Amino acid sequence: MQTSEFGKSRGLWKTLSEGTWSEAFDGLGISLLLTSNPSIQYTVFDQLKRRLLEWQLSKRSSIESSPEALSAFSAFVLGAVSKCIATCVTYPAIRCKVTLQAAESDESEIEEVQAKTKTITGALYSIWKNEGSAGFFKGLLAQNLKTVLSSALLLMIKEKISKTTWFLMLALKRYLFVTRSRIKSTLLR
């Protein structure tokens, strides 16, 4: 628990005064790389959604309008699949970030070894050397279990809100059009 309202700024000041500027931004590269996770997730979700809606439209025998949104179950499943894919693609970077954070907290190591491990390439080399290629995916199942459910629920709710908002906008447009037509007809009399 933080006892001072200036705790974060003091921590930053301590980091900058005791270390170098590069030490203050140690995890920036890997954090920027990990911003690709939601991008991959939403891209995969949108592509799967588009293909599912096209497939549903081609299955219909009569000429009807295209469904503008997915069912709740479809959105949930596609959300889970898209998050799983995004996590699998970016997990080696997540693992490197964890390795970098562990290197910072382990004070029993030699400073020189810590300096090597504090870079992305150093973390990659350390994982490869100690655990092999399987080491890049160590803990993937736990990460998927942690993130997939919340992301699937989020995308399901987003789809339902989008559908409701679209419906309300169309209803409002129709109401305004009818009201405007009534006003015009009243004024023309």
pLDDT digit string (tens) for 146-167?
Answer: 999 999 999 999 999 998 998 8
Question: Max Cα separation, the chain?
Answer: 92
Task: Decide which of 120 and 136 is more confident.
Answer: 136
Helix (H) or strand (E) holding 96: helix 72-105
Domain span at residue 148 reads 7-163
Identity at 62, one-letter amino acid code: S
Domain assignment of residue 86, yes or no: yes
Report the chain's mean pLDDT, rounded to a whole number. Answer: 81
Domain assignment of residue 1, yes or no: no
Residue 90: band (very low, low, confident or very high) from pLDDT cuts 50, 70, 90: very high
Q: Report the number of distinct structural domains present in the chain.
A: 1
Domain assignment of residue 2, yes or no: no
Cα–Cα distance for residue pair 186/182, rounded to 1 Å: 6
Cα–Cα distance for residue pair 188/180, rounded to 1 Å: 12
Domain assignment of residue 171, yes or no: no
Q: How far apart are the first and last CA of the chain?
A: 73
CA 13 to chain centre: 31
Q: What is the pLDDT of residues 2-32, one digit of tens each?
A: 455 556 677 767 777 777 776 667 677 888 8
- DSSP-derived secondary structure letter, 66: P
